[in-house]
């Protein structure tokens, strides 16, 4: 069981490296934003696996937080690429 | 108490002067001031009989008792002589100034306040037995002299002269303080008398010579010795009473006083003998040589003062040889000290009167330029007589006191041939020759001064005013001094017994116990076998010929390039201090944060690297290392790749995203190193700061813009080396600090007591709010301040926009 989990950790880590490659290479900003979002998801997986491996429940909060942040972050980036700003002052424009 | 009170009397009276000046405008303020020095001179005169019999007086006023600092007034022959000179000439100068300064046009209140401060300072200098209070009064003379030179502060020359004298004398004063401190440490006392008692033990110490040189620097700058004399000619911008008082009779003699006072301490060193004699004799020649070049009456007198001070200084130096010899030779050299003190008094008389005459000529003709003056003999007969007496005395002509001291000076220089220590018997022969040449020049400028002013053709068209004789009141003071000049010639031994012998006892305490022991008598006639007589005749002969041929050889002064003059060097130094240092600091203070960061990081690297190297502190130990797991390597690679992306990306957005990735990876590290609270916080903060970067993104220029100008982000070898160096240094420090744990961790205590003492399960949170809650409190304050600051910055900017003011975009 433990060996299996370690294999998965390695696989997820490799996929994280792949996302990172996309983050670095681009070529467009949306590519990078998607890569960052995926890195967030990968991290969630990784943290879950590590929690099992370390036999602890203290990191479950981190998973929840990361899920929220990853969502908010992606939305913020998307809005930024769309409009150039994140928080609009004038709602009518 | 009365002696201390006497020192401070002038400065206390000075407090009243502005009131008198404002409230009693009808009476010249000087009349009130005159009471002070007259009262003081009669007070000090009462000490004369007992001082003559060899007793001394001491009076103490504690100032800072816990540090052992007090005002000590010590009256012996030397300090009484100076006190009488200060108050006596002070009285005459105040009297003269009453007629010289106009009570309506001049700010008399200022003048007399400064003058009285100076008088206190000078009395303090000559009577202080405590080194620190001596220094205190010493600087007070510098400051009051600065104020007096700059009395006509609307003139450029006055301000320049005041600043120059301040710079040079304060430089010397500070050096002197250093010498005093060394002496105080070596002798474990600041009292001059106690230091004199232990001079032989002091001399064995290494720092003794340092103290000697530093104290001498103070004396040389104050007494306008070579090469520090340059402030004195520029100080002639002061009102003439000031020049007469400060720059001929009193302040410039403070340095001589200092040398005389410290002779018992320092004379055991040959460095002292050489320096005092050598510098004195060079100053004598230099000053007398350049005095002939001057065209301004007061400048001639200033250079003459410089030269005469050099003469006295060299005599004091020769006198200090008495500490190195034994037997009959001792009296041979103490005779030089005797001559020095005698000439010091003579110089005060004739130079004071000459300055006053120069002031009268200036006052009555409107100019001090000797090329415009001439033929005043019949117009100003009394002034001419006084000037003639003063000048002939200065030249060393019989019937005037200068002759006596000049003969004694030549005798003293000749006596050097008996002394065969420190190569004096070979090089020492130069000193009488230099002294003789300098005396020839002295003779020439003395005649030049008096005859070019008062004889020749009267040139009324060149004079601003119509020349006429000065008012009687103005002539009283120089008249008294000129009378003294003649009287001293006829009764020199009265002066010698009253003033000079007690002073010699103070300078040569090893040789003489009471003034009666000093067996010198002053004779005007030495007999035909005296070499000094023939030297004097030679001076008169050569001097007269040189004076007659004056226009023929003054061309040699033009041959000396002005760039090499000491004044040019001083100007260059000041210019360098002003502009040069400015240029140097603008070399490195570029205003660019980038270069400042470079300096800081370079300094960090150098300090840390040298500390590691010197202390041999770099240690690697593999003992306590945890095993490295595979995914740790993986995450590290992610971290490194993310960081490199930030460094090498061309777009700012990529940099921000990569920074976010790095932050998240760090959070991952927190997780695998089992720090859930840190991971939570790190994730939130990272997200917020990335969002903030994005918020600011819109306002930032694109990186590409800068690349066009090749300013930003280009590869720079210097930056690369510094960055690499910092990284390597921090790594090395981290490795070595990990490798050598000196004290065990205290965390076990937290683990054991987190529940029993604090009632919590989360150890991190308990530490934050319970064990070490103070840190948290102020972290909260930091956040509050930051948020308030942000609100402030934004609202101020908005308010500016509303006010239609243009925002400076820098």
Does any CB of chain B come closer than 8 Å to the CB of residue A87?
yes
Does the predicted interface ipTM exceed a cut of 0.85?
Answer: no
Q: How would residue B522 be classed by pLDDT, with cut points 50, 70 and 90?
A: confident
**Tokens standing for residue B511:** 């040789």
Contact B24, B56 (CB under 8 A): no
- pLDDT at position B113 is 93
Question: How far is the alpha carbon of B634 from chain A, nearest alpha carbon, in Å?
Answer: 7
Residue A92 placed within a domain:
no
Does any CB of chain B come closer than 8 Å to the CB of residue A20?
yes
Q: How would residue B707 be classed by pLDDT, with cut points 50, 70 and 90?
A: very low
Report CB contact under 8 Å: B667, A62.
yes
| Nearest residue of B to residue A71, measured between CA atoms | B687
Q: Above 60 in pLDDT, residue B577? A: yes
3-state class (DSSP) for residue B698: coil
- pLDDT at position B116 is 93
Task: Say how many domains are in chain A.
Answer: 1
Of B642, B657, B671, the CB nearest to A59: B671
- pLDDT at position B594 is 85
Percentage of residues of chain B with pLDDT beyond 70: 94
**Tokens standing for residue B261:** 């006072």
Contact B137, B121 (CB under 8 A): yes
Contact B445, B351 (CB under 8 A): no
3-state class (DSSP) for residue A59: coil
Residue burial B584-612, b: 16+ Cβ < 10 Å; e: rest: eeeeeeeeeeeeeeeeebeeebeebbeee
Question: How far is the alpha carbon of B605 from chain A, nearest alpha carbon, in Å?
Answer: 32
- pLDDT at position B180 is 93
Contact B746, B622 (CB under 8 A): no
The sign of the CA dihedral B34, B35, B37, B38 is positive
Does any CB of chain B come closer than 8 Å to the CB of residue A34?
no
Question: Chain B residues within 8 A (CB-CB) of chain A?
Answer: 630-631, 634-635, 637-638, 641-642, 645, 653-654, 657-658, 660-661, 664, 667-668, 671-672, 674, 676, 679-680, 683-684, 687, 690-691, 694-695, 697-698
Which of B656, B683, B690 is the best mutation test for A, with the most CBs of A within 10 A?
A: B683
**Tokens standing for residue B281:** 């004799």
- pLDDT at position A23 is 80
Higher pLDDT, B707 or B603: B603
Report CB contact under 8 Å: B679, A16.
no
- Judging contacts by C-beta atoms under 8 Å, the chain B residues touching residue A20 are 638, 641-642, 661
Cβ atoms < 10 Å from Cβ of B106:
16
Contact A59, A50 (CB under 8 A): yes
Backbone angles phi, psi at A58, to 5 degrees: -70, -20
Of B641, B668, B674, the CB nearest to A24: B641
Does any CB of chain B come closer than 8 Å to the CB of residue A88?
no
- Judging contacts by C-beta atoms under 8 Å, the chain B residues touching residue A54 are 674
- pLDDT at position B304 is 92
- pLDDT at position B802 is 63
- List the single range of B338-347, B622-631, B677-686 with lowest mean pLDDT: B622-631
DSSP B369: B
- Judging contacts by C-beta atoms under 8 Å, the chain B residues touching residue A46 are 668
Q: Above 70 in pLDDT, residue B96? A: yes
* C-alpha radius of gyration, chain A, whole number: 16
CA angle in degrees (0–180, nearest 5) for B617-B622-B628: 130
Of A29, A39, A65, the CB nearest to B683: A65
| Nearest residue of B to residue A63, measured between CA atoms | B680
- List the single range of B475-489, B683-697, B711-725 with lowest mean pLDDT: B711-725
- Judging contacts by C-beta atoms under 8 Å, the chain B residues touching residue A9 are 631
3-state class (DSSP) for residue B735: helix
Residue B62 β-bridge partners: B70
Report CB contact under 8 Å: A40, B694.
no
Of B641, B657, B664, the CB nearest to A32: B657
Question: How far is the alpha carbon of A13 from chain B, nearest alpha carbon, in Å?
Answer: 7
DSSP B514: S
Residue A89 placed within a domain:
no
Higher pLDDT, B520 or B116: B116
Report CB contact under 8 Å: B631, A76.
no
Task: Please state the pTM of the whole predicted model.
Answer: 0.81
Q: How would residue B510 be classed by pLDDT, with cut points 50, 70 and 90?
A: confident
**Tokens standing for residue B413:** 């220089």
Q: Above 80 in pLDDT, residue B706? A: no
Pick from B133, B124, B134: nearest CA to B87: B124
- pLDDT at position B206 is 86
- pLDDT at position A13 is 84
Q: Above 80 in pLDDT, residue B178? A: yes
CA angle in degrees (0–180, nearest 5) for A28-A29-A34: 105
- pLDDT at position A90 is 61
Contact B199, B264 (CB under 8 A): yes
Residue A90 placed within a domain:
no
- pLDDT at position B464 is 76
The rounded distance, in Å, linking the Cα atoms of B342 and B149 is 28
- List the single range of A16-30, B281-295, B577-591 with lowest mean pLDDT: A16-30
Of B641, B658, B683, the CB nearest to A62: B683
Domain boundaries, chain B: 273-548, 758-810
- pLDDT at position B259 is 92
**Tokens standing for residue B256:** 């001589």
**Tokens standing for residue B529:** 């076998």
Which of A33, A35, A37, A43 is the best mutation test for B, with the most CBs of B within 10 A?
A: A43
DSSP string, B275-307: HHHHHHHHHHHHHHHHHTT--BHHHHHHHHHHH
Of A56, A58, A73, the CB nearest to B690: A73
Q: Is B53 exposed, middle or buried (0-12, 13-18, 19+ CB in 10 A)?
A: exposed
- What average pLDDT does the segment B231-252 reach? 87
- pLDDT at position B809 is 46
**Strand ranges inside B274-395, DSSP E:** none
Q: How would residue B139 be classed by pLDDT, with cut points 50, 70 and 90?
A: very high
The rounded distance, in Å, linking the Cα atoms of B198 and B182 is 14
- List the single range of A20-34, B37-51, B754-768 with lowest mean pLDDT: A20-34
Chain position carrying tokens 């995203």: B657
DSSP string, B246-277: IIIISGGGHHHHHHHHHHHHHTTSHHHHHHHH
Model confidence pLDDT, tens digit, residues A20-79: 888 877 788 888 888 888 988 988 898 888 888 888 887 888 888 888 888 888 888 788
Contact B76, B16 (CB under 8 A): no
Pick from B224, B58, B44: nearest CA to B123: B44
Residue A54 placed within a domain:
yes
DSSP string, B34-90: HHHHHHHHHHHHTTHHHHHTT--EEEEEEEEGGGTEEEEEEE-HHHHHHHHHHHHHH
Average pLDDT, chain B: 85
- Judging contacts by C-beta atoms under 8 Å, the chain B residues touching residue A84 are 698
- Judging contacts by C-beta atoms under 8 Å, the chain A residues touching residue B642 are 20, 23
Residue A91 placed within a domain:
no
The rounded distance, in Å, linking the Cα atoms of B230 and B222 is 11
Q: How would residue B175 be classed by pLDDT, with cut points 50, 70 and 90?
A: very high
Of B654, B664, B697, the CB nearest to A39: B664
Which of B676, B677, B695 is the best mutation test for A, with the most CBs of A within 10 A?
A: B676
Residue A22 placed within a domain:
yes
3-state class (DSSP) for residue B319: helix
Cβ atoms < 10 Å from Cβ of A43:
25
Q: How would residue B709 be classed by pLDDT, with cut points 50, 70 and 90?
A: very low
Higher pLDDT, B399 or B609: B609
Report CB contact under 8 Å: A62, B680.
yes
- pLDDT at position B403 is 86
Which of A54, A69, A81 is the best mutation test for B, with the most CBs of B within 10 A?
A: A69
Report CB contact under 8 Å: B664, A26.
no
Model confidence pLDDT, tens digit, residues B546-569: 888 877 777 777 777 666 678 888
Residue A30 placed within a domain:
yes
Which H or E element spans position B767?
Answer: none
- pLDDT at position B704 is 54
């Amino acid at each position: 069981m433990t060996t299996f989990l370690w294999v998965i950790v390695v696989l997820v880590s490799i996929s994280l490296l792949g996302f990172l490659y996309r983050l670095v290479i681009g070529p467009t900003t949306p590519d990078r934003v998607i890569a960052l979002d995926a890195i967030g998801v990968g991290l969630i997986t990784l943290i879950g696996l590590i929690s099992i491996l370390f036999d602890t429940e203290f990191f479950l909060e981190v998973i929840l937080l990361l899920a929220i942040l990853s969502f908010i972050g992606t939305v913020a980036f998307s809005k930024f690429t769309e409009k150039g700003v994140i928080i609009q002052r004038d709602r009518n424009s | 108490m009365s002696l201390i009170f006497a020192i401070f009397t002038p400065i206390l009276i000075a407090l009243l002067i502005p009131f008198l000046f404002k409230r009693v405008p009808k009476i010249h303020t000087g009349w009130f001031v005159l009471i002070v020095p007259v009262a003081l001179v009669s007070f000090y005169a009462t000490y004369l009989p007992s001082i003559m019999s060899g007793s001394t007086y001491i009076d103490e006023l504690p100032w800072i008792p816990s540090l052992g600092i007090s005002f000590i007034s010590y009256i012996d022959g030397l300090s009484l002589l100076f006190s009488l000179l200060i108050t006596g000439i002070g009285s005459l100068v105040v009297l003269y100034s009453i007629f010289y300064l106009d009570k309506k046009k001049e700010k008399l209140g200022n003048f007399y306040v400064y003058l009285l401060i100076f008088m206190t300072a000078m009395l303090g200098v000559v009577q202080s037995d405590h080194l620190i209070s001596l220094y205190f009064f010493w600087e007070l003379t510098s400051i009051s002299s600065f104020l007096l030179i700059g009395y006509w502060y609307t003139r450029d020359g006055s301000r320049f002269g005041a600043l120059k004298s301040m710079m040079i004398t304060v430089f010397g004063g500070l050096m002197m303080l250093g010498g005093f401190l060394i002496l105080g440490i070596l002798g474990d006392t600041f009292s001059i008398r106690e230091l004199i008692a232990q001079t032989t033990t002091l001399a064995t110490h290494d720092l003794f010579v340092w103290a000697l040189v530093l104290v001498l620097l103070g004396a040389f700058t104050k007494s306008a010795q070579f090469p520090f004399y340059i402030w004195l000619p520029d100080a002639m911008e002061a009102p003439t009473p000031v020049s007469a008082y400060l720059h001929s009779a009193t302040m410039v003699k403070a340095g001589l006083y200092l040398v005389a006072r410290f002779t018992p301490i320092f004379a055991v060193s040959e460095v002292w003998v050489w320096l005092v004699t050598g510098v004195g004799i060079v100053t004598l020649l230099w000053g007398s040589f350049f005095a002939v070049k001057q065209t301004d009456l007061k400048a001639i007198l200033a250079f003459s003062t410089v030269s005469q001070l050099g003469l006295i200084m060299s005599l004091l130096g020769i006198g200090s040889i008495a500490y190195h010899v034994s037997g009959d030779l001792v009296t041979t050299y103490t005779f030089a000290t005797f001559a020095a003190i005698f000439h010091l008094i003579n110089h005060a008389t004739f130079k004071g009167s000459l300055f006053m005459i120069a002031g009268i000529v200036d006052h009555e003709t409107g100019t001090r330029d000797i090329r415009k003056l001439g033929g005043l003999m019949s117009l100003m007969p009394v002034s001419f007589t006084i000037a003639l007496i003063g000048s002939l005395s200065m030249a060393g002509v019989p019937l005037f006191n200068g002759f006596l001291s000049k003969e004694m000076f030549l005798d003293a220089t000749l006596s050097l041939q008996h002394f065969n220590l420190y190569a004096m018997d070979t090089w020492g022969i130069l000193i009488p020759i230099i002294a003789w040449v300098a005396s020839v020049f002295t003779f020439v400028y003395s005649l030049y001064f008096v005859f070019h002013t008062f004889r020749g053709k009267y040139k009324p068209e060149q004079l601003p005013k119509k020349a006429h004789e000065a008012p009687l009141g103005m002539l009283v003071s120089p008249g008294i001094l000129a009378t003294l000049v003649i009287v001293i010639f006829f009764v020199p031994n009265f002066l010698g017994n009253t003033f000079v012998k007690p002073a010699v006892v103070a300078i040569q305490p090893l040789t003489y116990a009471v003034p009666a022991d000093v067996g010198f008598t002053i004779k005007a006639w030495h007999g035909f076998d005296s070499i000094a007589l023939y030297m004097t005749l030679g001076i008169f002969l050569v001097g007269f010929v040189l004076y007659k041929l004056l226009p023929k050889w003054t061309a040699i002064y033009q041959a000396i390039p002005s760039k090499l003059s000491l004044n040019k060097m001083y100007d260059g130094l000041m210019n360098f201090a002003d502009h040069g240092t400015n240029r140097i600091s603008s070399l490195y203070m570029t205003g660019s944060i980038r270069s400042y960061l470079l300096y800081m990081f370079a300094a960090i690297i150098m300090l840390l690297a040298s500390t590691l190297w010197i202390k041999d502190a770099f240690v690697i130990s593999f003992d306590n290392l945890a095993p490295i797991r595979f995914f740790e390597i993986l995450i590290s690679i992610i971290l490194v790749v993310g960081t490199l992306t930030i460094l090498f990306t061309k777009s700012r957005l990529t940099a921000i995203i990569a920074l976010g990735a790095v932050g998240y990876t760090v959070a991952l590290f927190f997780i695998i190193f089992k720090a859930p609270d840190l991971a939570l916080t790190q994730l939130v903060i990272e997200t917020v700061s990335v969002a903030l970067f994005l918020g600011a993104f819109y306002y930032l220029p694109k990186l590409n813009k800068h690349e066009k100008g090749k300013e930003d982000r280009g590869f720079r070898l210097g930056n690369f080396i510094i960055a690499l160096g910092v990284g390597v240094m921090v790594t090395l420090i981290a490795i070595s600090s990990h490798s050598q744990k000196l004290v065990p961790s205290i965390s076990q205590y937290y683990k054991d007591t987190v529940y029993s003492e604090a009632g919590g399960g989360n150890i991190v949170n308990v530490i934050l709010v319970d064990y070490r809650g103070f840190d948290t409190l102020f972290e909260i304050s930091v956040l509050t301040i930051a948020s308030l600051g942000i609100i402030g910055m934004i609202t101020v900017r908005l308010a500016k926009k509303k006010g239609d003011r243009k925002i400076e975009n820098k």
